Amino acid sequence: MALPRSPQLVDLLPASIRNEDTLEHPSVACLDDELNPKRLNKIYYCLWLAGRPMPPRPLHYQRAASREIVVDEKMDMHLVWEPNKIHLKPLPRYLLSYEFWKDNLVCEPTCSCASLTTGSGTDPSHKMQSAAEKPHSQPSSPLNSKQRSMIQTNGNICQRHQLYDCAYGFLFSYVALIQYESDFRIAQSAFLLPKTVTWAAWKELVLQLLNEKNRGHLPNKRFIFGELRLHRLNTIYRICLGTLRGYRLEYQTYGSFFVDNLAPIVSIITYVVVVLTAMQVGLATDRLGRSEAFQRASYGFTVFSILFPLFFVGIVFCWFLILFISNLRATLSFKKKRLQSTV
C-alpha cells in the first residue's frame, strides 16, 4: 500500500493546538504534548493499583463488555476506562508517515543516545509504504533493555528518544486493540484509524511492530500497563500527589456529584431499616425482651442509625464545599488572567 508522502509536518498535525487556555498553530514543539503521557509517568510506580501490566484487550472485547468507545485526543487518557466507557486516542496520520519518524523521532547520529548505542529504532511505518518509496538508508536498530538501563542511569535520553518510546508504545497498544478484522472495522467506524489504511496494510504494520518487539525494544513505561481505571487514578493522584481534583474530575455537574455520593446511603438506610424492624420484633418477644445484652445492642444500634446518616451526609457536603470553593477560585483566577491579557 502506498500512502501519500507529505512534504511538510504541518500537513499531518492537527489544525490547531491548545496551549493552556489559548489556541495556537501546531508545530514540532507540540509533539511532546501530543505523544508523551507525562501525568501517568509521574505515578508509574502506583499504576499496578489501577491496571494490570498486560496489553489492552481488543476492541471486540470492549464492545462485548458494553463499553462505549470515547474518542479522546489526550495521550494521558488513552486506554483509561470508567463504567460503561473507555477513552481511546485515535491513531494520527503522522505516525503512519515515514518522513515523520525519520525527521522527528529517530535520534540524530550525534546525539547522546546514539553515542552509547546504535540509535532510537527503525521506523515502524515503513512497512505501510511501497518499496519504491523507502529510502536507501534505514535508521539504526533499537535499544535493548541493558542499553536502556545504562542510558537512564546516566540521564542521557534525548527528547527525540523519549518521544520515539511514547510513539512506539502508543502504536503497539493498537496492535493489541486491533487483532481481528472485526476489531479493524470497529476502529474505522469509531474514527480511530485513517480511512486510507486497509486491513492488508494494517497486518503488514503489525508484523513489523512484532518484529521490533522481538528485537528487544522497550516502549514508554506507561505502556507496560494496558487499561487503567479512572476512579483508581483519581485516588492515586489525591493520595500520592495531594491533588484535590484527582487525575480527572469525574463529575461534570454538581447534581451528578450528589447522585453518585449520596446513592450509597440509600442502601445503608435500607439495611438499617431491616435491622431496626428485626430488633423491634425481638424486643417484643419474652426471651429477647428480658435480655440486657440484646437491649444494649438495640440501644447502641438505634443511636448509630440516627447519627451515621447525618455524619455521612455531612462529609459529602463538606467535600462539596471544598470542591465548590476550589472551582470558584480557579474560575476567578482564570477570569482575571483573561481580562489582563485583553487589556
Q: What is the pLDDT of residue 272?
A: 83
Contact 32, 49 (CB under 8 A): no
Contact 33, 163 (CB under 8 A): no
CA distance 83 to 118: 44
Contact 4, 195 (CB under 8 A): no
CA distance 86 to 130: 34
**Span 126-134, average pLDDT:** 42
Spell out the residues 6+ positions from residue 322 whose beta carbon is closer than 8 angstroms to its own.
Answer: 244
Spell out the residues 6+ positions from residue 93 whose beta carbon is closer than 8 angstroms to its own.
Answer: 12, 194
Tens of pLDDT along 135-149?
333 333 344 444 444
Tens of pLDDT along 166-200?
888 999 999 999 999 999 999 999 999 988 899 99
| CA dist 70 → 57, 84, 87, 89, 183 (Å) | 16, 10, 5, 8, 15
Q: What percent of the chain has pLDDT over 70?
A: 79
| CA dist 100 → 90, 110, 222, 309 (Å) | 17, 19, 22, 59
Spell out the residues 6+ positions from residue 202 whose beta carbon is closer than 8 angstroms to its own.
Answer: 178, 184, 193
Is pLDDT of 115 > 60?
A: no
Is pLDDT of 163 > 50?
A: yes
Considering only CA atoms, give the Rg of the chain: 27
Question: Domain residue spans in the chain?
Answer: 9-240, 254-342
**Nearest residue to 135 (alpha-carbon basis) of 145, 148, 143, 125:** 125
Task: Supply φ then ψ for residue 90, to 5 degrees.
Answer: -60, 150
Q: What is the pLDDT of residue 63?
A: 93
CA distance 155 to 163: 15
Mean per-residue pLDDT of the chain: 78
Confidence tier at 132 by pLDDT (50, 70, 90)? very low
Residue 142 DSSP one-character state: P
Q: What is the pLDDT of residue 10?
A: 67
| CA dist 85 → 8, 68, 137 (Å) | 36, 4, 44
Is pLDDT of 111 > 60?
A: yes
Q: What is the pLDDT of residue 122?
A: 56
Q: What is the pLDDT of residue 143?
A: 43
CA distance 187 to 94: 17
Helix (H), strand (E) at residue 63? helix 59-64
Contact 160, 111 (CB under 8 A): yes
Supply the DSSP string of 283-329, one letter for each residue.
Answer: HHSHHHHT-HHHHHHHHHHHHHHHHHHHHHHHHHHHHHHHHHHHHHH
16 or 64, which is more confident? 64
